[in-house]
Amino acid sequence: MIEHINWYPGHMKKTRELIQENLKMVDVVVEVIDARIPISSRNPIIDDLVGDKIRVIALNKSDLADIKAVNEQIDIFREKGQYALALNSISGEGVVRLFNLLEKLEQKKNRGQLRNKPLRIMIVGVPNVGKSSLINRMTGKKSAKTGDRPGVTRGKQWLALRNGMQLLDTPGILWPKFEDPKVGLNLAFCGSIKDEIMDIATLALELINVLSTDYPELLLKRYKLETLGETPLVTMEHIARKRGFLLPANRIDYERTGRILMDEFRSGALGKITLERGDCTDERI
């Protein structure tokens, strides 16, 4: 297993300071997590920063995840007294439910007040969970930069929503060290850690290892395999030959095979996959 994946560039420290400085100005924190990795994509630093502030947990990219697992995770959050809902910020599915919840929280905030004040919201989350796409859905325009690479958003942005609420976007924030190597791997699988610091073929081997246990039928179907290999490496070689990813002298192009496999997992072409389940919050750190 790849061990000790650490990626904590200077802007991460600045983001933490940004959240600390502005938290007192907001009423609600919307924490965007990746529905495929609902445990690993919850940053324990955000837990410490947000404290008792009202929080809404948005399980984004739910269209890429196992829907049964998504609903189970939402139930776990709600049983703990937390607001939680599924989202697809690309299609907009679930955004109306989010607005309805925020409007109820705004009404509760203004109950008994002589003058109603707009709800002020902070959006937080690790890189590449879809915060910017969600913000663009909520504002109805391209207010935030989007991309499939972590670290696109820069600096803070106060944005006005169509219903009069105010929203603060922040860049994605990771934490300095992943004590559990599985957390770092899950974040790398889903693109929250830059591919440039990883060996893509090795990362793909790790993903094959996970999928061979949890979703073997999806690997067999997607790559038209009759059977999986005895090891992840043999399975990768089967995939490469099926796709024709060969170098001169019939050698396997491991990098191209790894890149395609990671792209097809991240896009959902492999199928609807959830990499972790259950209430394992303490395992993140």
pLDDT along the chain (285 residues), means of 10: 53 69 88 95 82 92 96 94 94 95 94 89 88 89 52 60 84 62 90 85 96 97 96 97 96 97 97 85 42
Residue 175 has what pLDDT?
55
Structural domains in the chain, sorted by start: 10-177 (3.40.50.300), 199-267 (1.10.1580.10)
Residue 153 has what pLDDT?
42
Residue 147 has what pLDDT?
46
Residue 142 has what pLDDT?
65
Residue 76 has what pLDDT?
94
Taking CA atoms, 209 is separated from 13, 98, 192, 213, 241, in Å, by 33, 36, 20, 7, 18
Taking CA atoms, 58 is separated from 86, 108, 248, in Å, by 6, 20, 47
Residue 157 has what pLDDT?
66
- The pairing of strands 120-124 and 166-169 is parallel
Q: Which ranges of 23-149 does DSSP label H, i.e. alpha helix?
A: 44-50, 67-79, 95-110, 131-139
Q: Terminal CA-to-CA distance of the chain, rounded, Å?
A: 18
What pTM did the predictor assign? 0.85
Residue 171 has what pLDDT?
67
Residue 281 has what pLDDT?
47
State the sign of the Cα–Cα–Cα–Cα dihedral 132, 211, 196, 252: negative
